[in-house]
Structure 1
Amino acid sequence: MFEARDVIEVIGLLRDGGCRVWVGGGWGIDALVGEVTRPHRDLDLMHDATQEPTLIEILENTGFAERHDIVPGRPARFVMRHPDGRELDLHPLTFQPDGSAVQPANDRGDVFPYPANAFATGTILGTSIACLSVRQQVHFHQGYEPTDRDRHDMAQLRRIYGIATHF
């Protein structure tokens, strides 16, 4: 499981190493809400693809190793696991001059778009964290059958931001 202090530690290491990262997934929701609302099995991080070699080196130096058994995997994402069981789900972003970004979706050249306003700031344990925006989180939670965790996460955004979500 990924604990809040682990999130702060990993992000701090990457920041100190010069890597830009944004928290997504459940921890991204909790950052937007400003409190830990549920247990988390992993940490989703979007990262600047140009910094990926440095990011991997930093993570490997702290014990993380890439898993090659994850589907779907590259180019859309890759997973690194620590011997203690913590997992990072890493999503490479290619930034455009206007501040927007794209993430590869598959080998055919399809992409997941991130408009410039997809990036926001939240807090975990009182620490400022770069994360995905409320709008981007809601967008990424569409088009599939939601899990109980997804339903919980969208309920948190409705509770705090008073927005409508599709589930």
Structure 2
Amino acid sequence: MIDELSRRQLRIIGEITDVAAANGVDVWLRGGWAMDFFLGELTRPHVDVDWFCWAADADRLASALHDRGFVDDPRVPPELQRDLVKDGVEVSFALLARDARDRVVVGAAGRWAGSPYPEGMLDGPVGRLGDVSCRTICPRSQIELKEMYPVWMPERPRRAKDRDDITRLKAALVTAPGPAG
């Protein structure tokens, strides 16, 4: 049975996907929801909904979402990440850019600015949960990111949910037909 917060988050995912498409903005679901969309099932409750978008599109996307009732979350400076809230659902957009070698890199200010993301990260599948579908980052990149968080941020040890997510994704990739990104 899906809880009320998950139901609202799923509705918000659909809304963001529609708003982004209507405004010509590319977005990719990341984190726990990306895993669920790849697997095609809700595996656990989620605190928030994580996305990637191009830094150059972030203001335009935020403006379009403001028009739909989203408000800025003031806890994170917008030059680091675009965080918004609607109906008690927190969404965050990590910012992307391309470097001189055309690699996808961290497009936000801060100590990681310009750091490359895993190659092929944006080549993930369109995932589906119920009647909502959206682009996700590739599962192999999702695994790499979850494995690297404690290395990049030693103050944040690996969480049990991340270990479980990594295990689920690796198992799904072993049984998936053909390349799964």
TM-score (structure 2 length as normaliser): 0.76
Q: Please state how far the C-alpha of 1:141 moved relative to its aligned partner.
A: 1.0
Query: Deviations along 1:29-78, whole A, 9 cap, x unmatched?
Result: 112212221122211110011112210111101111111223xx443323
Query: Deviations along 1:84-142, whole A, 9 cap, x unmatched?
Result: 21111111111358763111465356434224411111312255421111221112112
Q: Which runs of 5+ in 1 are unaligned?
A: none
Moved more, 148-157 or 103-112: 103-112
Question: Is residue 88 of structure 2 the alignment partner of residue 88 of structure 1?
Answer: no
Q: What is the rounded CA distance, in whole Å, between the counterparts of 2:105 and 2:14 in structure 1?
A: 25
Which residue of the partner structure matches residue 168 of structure 2? 156
Q: 1:103 to 1:146 in 2, by over 3 A?
A: same
Which residue of the partner structure matches residue 29 of structure 1? 35
Matches within 5 A, 1:1-167: 1-3=5-7, 4-70=10-76, 73-82=77-86, 84-96=87-99, 100-104=103-107, 106-108=109-111, 110-119=113-122, 120-125=124-129, 127-143=132-148, 144=150, 145-162=157-174
Contact 2:40 2:128 in 1 (8 A): yes
Q: Identity over the aligned pairs, expressed in percent?
A: 25
Q: What is the rounded CA distance, in whole Å, between the counterparts of 2:112 and 2:11 in structure 1?
A: 37
Q: What is the rounded CA distance, in whole Å, between the counterparts of 2:48 and 2:112 in structure 1?
A: 27
CA RMSD of aligned residues (A): 2.4
Contact 1:65 1:80 in 2 (8 A): yes
Q: How many residues align?
A: 160
TM-score (structure 1 length as normaliser): 0.82
Q: Which runs of 5+ in 2 are unaligned?
A: 151-156, 176-181
Q: 1:51 to 1:105 in 2, by over 3 A?
A: closer
Query: Which is richer in strand?
Result: 1
Query: Which is richer in helix?
Result: 2
